[in-house]
Amino acid sequence: MRRFNASRAFLISLAACVGWVLLWAWVTGAGGPVSKLMFPSPEAVFHRFLRMWTRPYLGSTLSWHIYSSLSIVLAGWILGGIVGVPLGIAMAWWKKLKWIVFPVFQLLRPVPPLAWIPLTLVWMGIGDPARITVVFIAALVPWLMNSMQSVYSVDKLLIDAGRTLGANDRQILTRIVCRTALPTLVAGARIALGNAWTTLIAAELLAATAGLGYVALNASRMLDTDVLLVAMLLIGILGGLLSVAIQLATHVLAPWSLRQSGEE
């Protein structure tokens, strides 16, 4: 097991990236072994990406598809937080509430959020509410579990110590409880957003009239491989950006939590 220094590994990675793209271009290019119907060339993907901003595909331009996906993800995610955080904290606070609600959760948790899609479709029809509901279900569990955990993570000894040293209730809340509880809560928010995004893509494959998952499935049926790849890459990039956005928000709201959870 030899160790590399970071800069050397980075250089190799950079060179490898160029190599991979060149390989991709060669394999899919004229005379290459892979047909355009199976996998598009990088130029085709790039051109299609640029064209999709102005020329509508499946009735809307790319920005509308992106907006449609993002708005539903955020709606479901925020709803999950609005329900999950207070419920989680209350469940940690009042034992009896936890005893009552938790078994129901344990019963529902093993069911993948996707399995609810047909049910929501029957109940609500093909519209935004059905997709928001599924995303909400996917986001709710991490929100709730981590809110509950964040209350447990507060060290009683620290509160007692604070009190001994003369802190008042407000100081205890802001300086001790929030500081220790936020990292877990933020982690929950991040997991919830990741789950929400994954689930939305699946929901869009099944029932949607716009959105990146909808574009991807239809592109595959019409053999528009370049569109398909644009949609896939955008799904990946937007998923990455959402997680980066949460990290940034964490930096602003609770910088100490990044250090605590051991992330860079």
Partner 1 sequence: MRRKQSRWPNHGSEKIQATLYGIASLAVLLLLWIAATSLFGWIGARILPSPFAVISRFADLLIDPFGGSTLLGHASGSLERWSLGVVAAVLLGIPIGVSFAWMPWFRAVVNPVFEVLRYIPPFAWVPIAILWFGVSTMTQASVVFIAAFPAIVINSQLGVQQVDRILLNAARVYGAGSLKTLKRVVMPVAAPSIYTGIRIAISNGWMALVGAELVVGKNGLGFLISQGQNNDSVSTIFVGIISIGALGILIDTIVHRSEAILLPWRKKLAKAESS
Footprint on residues 29-58 left by partner 1 (CB under 8 A): 38
Write down the least CB distance from residue 215 to partner 1, Å.
9
* Nearest by Cα to 219 from 116, 65, 30, 70: 65
Residue 22 or 253: the one with the smaller Cβ distance to partner 1 is: 22
- Judged by CB under 8 A, which of 30, 33, 54, 156 binds partner 1? 156
Q: Which amino acid is at 29?
A: G
Which among 53-61, 91-99, 162-170, 251-259 is the span making contact with partner 1, rule CB under 8 A? 91-99
Interhelix angle 117-124/178-206, nearest 10 degrees: 70
- Judged by CB under 8 A, which of 22, 27, 233, 253 binds partner 1? 233
Quick check: helix, strand or coil at residue 60? Answer: strand
Residue 20 binds partner 1, judged by CB under 8 A:
yes
Residue 10 or 256: the one with the smaller Cβ distance to partner 1 is: 10
- Judged by CB under 8 A, which of 53, 94, 99, 256 binds partner 1? 99
Buried b (16+ CB within 10 A) or exposed e, 47-73: ebbeebeeeebbebebeebbebbbebb
Give the C-alpha separation, 44 to 25, whole Å. Answer: 10
Footprint on residues 57-76 left by partner 1 (CB under 8 A): none
- Judged by CB under 8 A, which of 76, 81, 142, 213 binds partner 1? 213
The phi, psi pair for 35, rounded to 5°, reads -75, 155
Residue 77 binds partner 1, judged by CB under 8 A:
no
Residue 126 binds partner 1, judged by CB under 8 A:
no
Residue 96 binds partner 1, judged by CB under 8 A:
yes
Write down the least CB distance from residue 121 to partner 1, Å.
6
Give the C-alpha separation, 163 to 158, whole Å. Answer: 8
Over its C-alpha atoms, the chain yields an Rg (Å, rounded) of 23
The phi, psi pair for 86, rounded to 5°, reads -60, -40
Q: Assign residue 59 a region: left if phi > 0, alpha if psi is -120 to 50, beta otherwise?
A: left
Residue 22 binds partner 1, judged by CB under 8 A:
no
Lookup result for tokens 């716009």: 210
Give the C-alpha separation, 194 to 190, whole Å. Answer: 6
Quick check: helix, strand or coil at residue 188? Answer: helix
Residue 17 binds partner 1, judged by CB under 8 A:
yes
Name the residues that contact partner 1, by CB under 8 A: 1-4, 8-10, 12-13, 16-17, 19-20, 38, 95-96, 98-104, 107-108, 110-112, 114-119, 121-123, 152, 156, 197-198, 201-202, 205-206, 212-213, 216-217, 219-221, 223, 225, 228-229, 231-233, 235-237, 239-240
